[in-house]
Each structure stands twice: as C-alpha cells, then as structure tokens.
Structure 1
Amino acid sequence: MFDHVGFPCGDVETSVAFYTAVFAPLGMTVGLRIPTGPPGAPEVVGLGSGGGHNQFWLAPGHAVEQELHVAFGAPDRAAVDAVHEAALAHGAEVLHAPRIFPEYHPGYYAVFLRDPDGHNVEAVHHTFS
C-alpha cells in the first residue's frame, strides 16, 4: 500500500548498519545517499530491495515520544527466521521471536524488533491457505 516511508534517526549511519545487516535476508540494501550539508554532514539514505526504487528512508532527526512501526514483507517463513538470526547477531532487541500471530490472522508469521532509535520494526510473511 505505501510507496515509501521515512524514519528520523539519531545517528543515520548506525541505523543504516542495523537495517542493512538485520534485513539483508529480505534483500535490503542502500540505494541512494543524499547530502544534507557540507562534506561529513549526515545524509538522508534510501534503502530498497533492488529495482531502483527506495521504499525506506532514514534521515537525521530527533527522538520522538511515540515509536514508529513498519513491517517489511518477507517472501517466506525462512526469511523471517533469517531476519531473527541476523538481529540476534547484530545485538538487536527482539520484542517477539518468530511465531504465528493468530490474533492478526492464522497465517501471520512475524518477528518484531527494536531498531537503534527505539522504533518497532517487523519482518512478516502472510500464509493464506
């Protein structure tokens, strides 16, 4: 449904390292960097899974009182599990380990994590049978 979404980050490069490591099993890579000032200033960074369209943007910002939430689609349950393993290897806080969440629907398989700025991020695979 969304074309792209952006998150404010206290440290853009820390967040880029987190997302590209933890969500690598979903193909997440850096697609574009946009300078915001003189050399060495924080950049706005667009992430995507190829194809030239950056769907997830990280920008310099300040802490917010309300956490943001975004769920990244996974092609299968193995990819959700791989995101979980990458999160553990990266030292990320796991809010909910991979499992089926029947309260959403019977085939909702997801892992929920905390990013470096405290946002709730998720990898999810929907199985409808």
Structure 2
Amino acid sequence: MSVFLDHVTVTVADLARSAAFYDAALGALGLCRVVELGDEEEDDAAIEAIAWAEPEQPGPARAMLWAVAGTRPTSGLHVCLRARSRADVEAFHAAALAAGGRSHDAPRRWPIFRTGEFNAIVLDPDGNLIEAVAPE
C-alpha cells in the first residue's frame, strides 16, 4: 500500500472569517464545504469544525482540509493543492484575495522549482500558506 496524505487540519482564530476565505479559495478549485460539526452534547451548539472536499466525495471520511476553532491558531503551515488548469489557479488567487486573503506569490510560472507548472500562493487569515498548482 502506498502512503499518502489523508487530510490537513488548521486551527483558526475566527472560524466564520476562515470559513468565508476557504469557501471562496477552495471553491475556485472545485472543492465545497461537506461537513460542519458542533458539540454533539449541546443543543444548538455553535459550529466548531468545517471540512472541504470534492463534491463527489462528501462526508468527513473524504474531507481533505479541516478548519477548527481554537485559541491557538495554526500559522506558517504550507498546503499545496493540485488544480486542473492555469485558469483555476488564477481564479483561486483572485477568490482568495476577494475573501480576505493576502497574496504571497501572484499566479505565475516557476521554471526554476517547478518546470511545466503554474502556481499561486496566498496567506489565509491566520498566516498559513495555501498554494494552488496546475500543469502548464
């Protein structure tokens, strides 16, 4: 059996703000929100965790990115997601900026590091690097 990364979890300072960012940025890549969880022991509990996955892979078992509310947010993590096309990378970058993200690297080719690929990197609201990369 091959080893592969199953999912990434980031702890966020403001779940609503981060959810809006990830809905936009990941939505541009074709991912959607598939799970929202609150405390199961409380009636009308606030949402504490949100997960995104491909629409045809719904549910927590297939979620690739989780955001959970916490007092010590994750910062400095670098997550790279494969995009289908250069246009998707550009849409990801634009959507992330419109949703409160900051540009780390605008969409471009990286011939030194990644021959034949096109990517963009943004900072999420807590300072994590979220990258989209596509073949050229």
Q: Same fold (TM over 0.5)?
A: yes
Percent identity of equivalent pairs: 33
Corresponding position of 2:49: 44
Instruction: Show CA shifts across 1:31-85 (max 9, x none).
Output: 0111136334341111112122211111112135x51110111001110011122
Aligned to 2:73: 63
Give the TM-score normalised by structure 2.
0.83
Residue 25 of structure 1 is matched in structure 2 by 28
Quote the Cα distance in structure 2 between the aligned partners of 1:88 and 1:116: 10
Q: Identify the range of structure 1 (103-112 vs 32-41) with the bigger mean alpha-carbon deviation.
A: 32-41
- Report the alpha carbon displacement of residue 26 of structure 1 after superposing the two structures with TM: 0.8
Unaligned runs of 5+ in 1: none
- TM-score normalised to structure 1 length: 0.87
Q: CA RMSD in A?
A: 1.7
Write out aligned runs for 1:74-89 (5 A). Answer: 74-89=83-98
Q: Which runs of 5+ in 2 are unaligned?
A: none
Match of 1:99 among 108, 118, 136: 108
In structure 2, distance between residues paired with 1:120 and 1:44: 20
Shift of 1:122: 0.7
| Count of residue pairs brought into register by the alignment | 126
CA distance in 1, matches of 2:7, 2:49: 14
Give the whole-Å Cα distance in 1 for the aligned partners of 2:100 and 2:76: 19
| Bigger mean CA deviation after superposition, 35-44 or 106-115 | 35-44
Letter in 2 for 1:82: A
